[in-house]
Amino acid sequence: SSNGSKEKEKTLAMIKPDGLLGNYTERIKLVILEYEFSILKETTTQLDQDRASSFYTEHSSKSFFPSLIKYMTSGPVLVMVLEKENAIADWRTLIGPTDSSRAKVTHPNSIRAMCGVDSEKNCVHGSDSLQSAQREISFFFEEISSDSCNGKHFMASK
């Protein structure tokens, strides 16, 4: 900002089904706290096919999409809103590259190296941009948005 103060940023972090199943939650949260993120909100939820497909809609035409949806619906996920300066990029750095088997070689201290398995089962998610972070936080935590309050449902009830 113009006065040089450092502004906090929010990102959406998720522990995917393999992370929860493998009991990695505590270890991942230790990393989160060690790197001085604040956990503003968290909830555990089971995604169904529609919600998983909607969350990963950008990948709907990819060959790996059916497998991704099967994976993401295979058990509950833990979603968290993390906050700190530069949260979006810092969380992406901490989780490491998409392919966990490669992460174990190139980024051995990353979360995906610690608890992921391969290019699909990589145990965690992080928003990849400010726009994604806003969309994904709303997806899980602000489902009754101000838009819908001001939209046709609200108007129709008048």
- Residues noted as catalytic: 125
Answer yes or no whether residue 122 interacts with ligand RTP by CB under 6 A.
Answer: yes
Alpha-carbon span 54 to 48, nearest angstrom: 10
**In the complex, what is the shortest distance from the CB of residue 109 to ligand RTP, in angstroms, rounded to a whole number?**
17
**Residue 44 annotated as binding?**
no
Answer yes or no whether residue 64 interacts with ligand RTP by CB under 6 A.
Answer: yes
Contact partners, residue 77, CB within 8 Å, separation at least 6: 14, 15, 16, 17, 20, 44, 45, 46, 47
Answer yes or no whether residue 19 interacts with ligand RTP by CB under 6 A.
Answer: no
Nearer to ligand RTP, 61 or 146 (CB): 61
Helix (H, G, I), strand (E, B) or coil at 77: strand
**Residue 112 annotated as binding?**
yes
**In the complex, what is the shortest distance from the CB of residue 33 to ligand RTP, in angstroms, rounded to a whole number?**
20
Residue 97: which of 117, 113, 79, 115 has the closest Cα? 113
**Residue 51 annotated as binding?**
no
| Summary count for the chain: helices (H), strands (E) | 10, 4
Using DSSP bridges, classify how beta strands 38-45 and 124-126 pair: parallel, antiparallel or unpaired: unpaired
17 neighbors 77 (Cβ within 8 angstroms): yes
**In the complex, what is the shortest distance from the CB of residue 129 to ligand RTP, in angstroms, rounded to a whole number?**
10
Nearer to ligand RTP, 130 or 149 (CB): 130
Specify the residue for token string 């969350």: 55
**Residue 135 annotated as binding?**
no
How many residues touch ligand RTP under the rule CB under 6 A: the total is: 10
List interacting residues with ligand RTP (CB under 6 A): 59, 64, 68, 98, 119-120, 122, 125-126, 128
